[in-house]
Amino acid sequence: MAATVTLFAQASAALSLFVIGGSLAGLHIAGLRRPVAQIAIGKLLLHPLAMLAALLLCEAGGMVPMAQALRIGVVLTAASPMLGIFPILAQRHGHDGLAAAALLGATVASFFTISTLLWVFRQVPGWGG
């Protein structure tokens, strides 16, 4: 049983890339720009902002403050693009093309958003500055 699970776990990354590539092949991006942008903005900007707000509210509410590295890690994890399984999960509902395009767009945009976020952390005292 363990060998079978290990085999599937090792093959899942390659399978995910295969599904993403197949979903993007022949996809007409013209009508997907707005939904892809909305998904990417939600994942790369709104999700980390929500996590940051939750952290600040918890600390303001009397919770013991987290270590600096852990706080940064929580926000950076929220700012990362979605997992490769995103298009596979959307495939069941017929949105695999949109999900693959959103994953591609979010992955490209995350280079800029995560770099900016790291720069901001270095500027803010208590967050790395």
> What CA–CA distance (Å, rounded) separates 96 from 20?
8
Q: What are phi and psi of 27, to 5 degrees?
A: -80, 130
Pull the structure tokens for residue 59. 């600390």
Pull the structure tokens for residue 74. 């929580």
> What CA–CA distance (Å, rounded) separates 123 from 100?
34
- Give 85-121 pLDDT, tens digit per residue: 788 788 888 888 888 888 888 999 999 999 999 999 9
Closest to 100 measured CA to CA, from 12, 32, 10: 32
Helix, strand or coil, per DSSP, at residue 42: helix
Q: Is the pLDDT of residue 18 over 80?
A: no
How many C-beta atoms lie closer than 10 Å to residue 121's C-beta?
Answer: 17
Helix, strand or coil, per DSSP, at residue 82: coil
Pull the structure tokens for residue 53. 């707000």
Helix, strand or coil, per DSSP, at residue 105: helix
- Residue 15: CB partners within 8 Å, gap ≥ 6? 88
Contact 105, 82 (CB under 8 A): no
Give the pLDDT confidence score for residue 27 in this predicted structure: 66
- Give 30-82 pLDDT, tens digit per residue: 778 899 999 999 999 999 999 999 998 988 888 877 888 898 999 999 999 98
Q: What's the pTM? A: 0.76
> What CA–CA distance (Å, rounded) separates 125 from 129?
5
